[in-house]
Amino acid sequence: MAEVLKVPTMAEYMVEGKQPEVLFWVGCAGSFDDRAKKITKAFVKILSKANVEFAVLGTEESCTGDPAKRSGNEFLFQMQAVTNIEVLNAYEVKKIVTACPHCFNTIKNEYPGLGGNYEVVHHTQFLKDLLEEGRLRVEGGKFKGKRITFHDPCYLGRANNEYEAPRDLLRKLEVELIEMRKCKSQGLCCGAGGGQMFKEPEKGNKDVNVLRTEQALETNPELIAAGCPFCNTMMTDGVKSKEKEAEIEVKDVAEMIAEAEDL
């Protein structure tokens, strides 16, 4: 897999005087976290395969401010938001797709009040649309018939009421989808939200990601599917803490699609 990914930037589009179909908002995790970068790349491969004209902001992208806002630092959040909105508006961005539910929620819900109005979709929603429009074809492939459970990201599910897009994709992969006892609107958090990703947990008797992993393991899965880079990290750590990493993988739905298509 030595081929280099083609990842055009908005600046490059601008030079050519063109507008891409969609801006791919990569996010901090997707840009810097080793595990999450794999998701980013998998998603880019699918976009290329489906001939989607996309662009990224590259070095002009900055944290949406979500962790700051949820930690109570409204100042920092709004500074980040206003800076990002300036860049996005300068490029006249209309549609944004992101593989991070936190970026998704923030840009979709909290940017409009500060002057940033865009159509924002989560990558699972975007992929679902590609499938429905016939621009992307997915068939079972290597995940066909596998026992898989899906962990709902809070900021996609409860926060924004999207439970079906990722599940539709999994169904397309013809997996045996097994729901956890706590799923969809009642799904348990992975433990990363609200700034928790960046601090030690308060004193308790267990880590949240371990509890969530236990719930996932109850379904006896071969793979845990996720739709958020932070959930992915938390669930991966949870599986490791149960010493199950040899048997059970944690994968983003986009990675699964890319793999099924041998991308």
Partner 1 sequence: MQIISQIAFLAAFIVAISFFIRNVRRLYRNIKLGKAIDRTDRPKERLSNMIRVALGQSKMVKRPVAGILHILVYVGFIIINIEMLEIVIDGIFGTHRVFSFLGGTYNFLIGAFEILALLVIVSIITFWIRRNVVKIKRFWSSEMKGWPKNDANYILYFEVALMTCFLLMNAADYQLQLNGAEHYASQEGIIGGFPVSQFLLPLIDGLGNSALIVIERTTWWLHIIGILIFLNYLYYSKHLHILLAFPNTYYAKLTPKGELTNLEAVTNEVKLMMDPNADPFASPEAGAADEEPEKFGASDVTDLNWVQLLNAYTCTECGRCTSECPANQTGKKLSPRKIMMDTRDRLEEVGEQLNKKQPIAEGKQLLDDYITREELWACTTCSACVEACPIGIDPLSIIIEMRRYLVMEESAAPNELNVSMSNIENNGAPWPYNQMDRLNWAKEN
**Residues 11-40, interacting with partner 1 (CB under 8 A):** 26, 28, 30-33, 37, 40
* Under rule CB under 8 A, residue 186 binds partner 1: yes
Number of residues that bind partner 1 (CB under 8 A): 74
Applying CB under 8 A, the span of 13-21, 110-118, 166-174, 219-227 interacting with partner 1 comes to 110-118
Beta carbons within 10 angstroms of residue 108's beta carbon: 21
- Cα-based angle 200, 206, 211 (whole degrees, multiple of 5): 110
Alpha-helical runs (H) found in 91-228: 101-105, 123-132, 164-172, 208-217
Determine if residue 262 is left, alpha or beta; phi over 0 gives left, psi from -120 to 50 gives alpha, anything else beta.
left
- Cα-based angle 96, 165, 4 (whole degrees, multiple of 5): 55
Nearer to partner 1, 143 or 150 (CB): 150
* Under rule CB under 8 A, residue 4 binds partner 1: yes
**Interface positions, 79-108, toward partner 1 (CB under 8 A):** 79-80, 82-83, 105
Asked if 187 contacts 151 with a C-beta cutoff of 8 angstroms, the reply is yes
* Under rule CB under 8 A, residue 227 binds partner 1: no
Phi (first) and psi of residue 249, to 5 degrees: -95, 155
* Under rule CB under 8 A, residue 241 binds partner 1: no
Pick the binder of partner 1 from 22, 42, 63, 99 (CB under 8 A): 63
**Interface positions, 118-147, toward partner 1 (CB under 8 A):** none
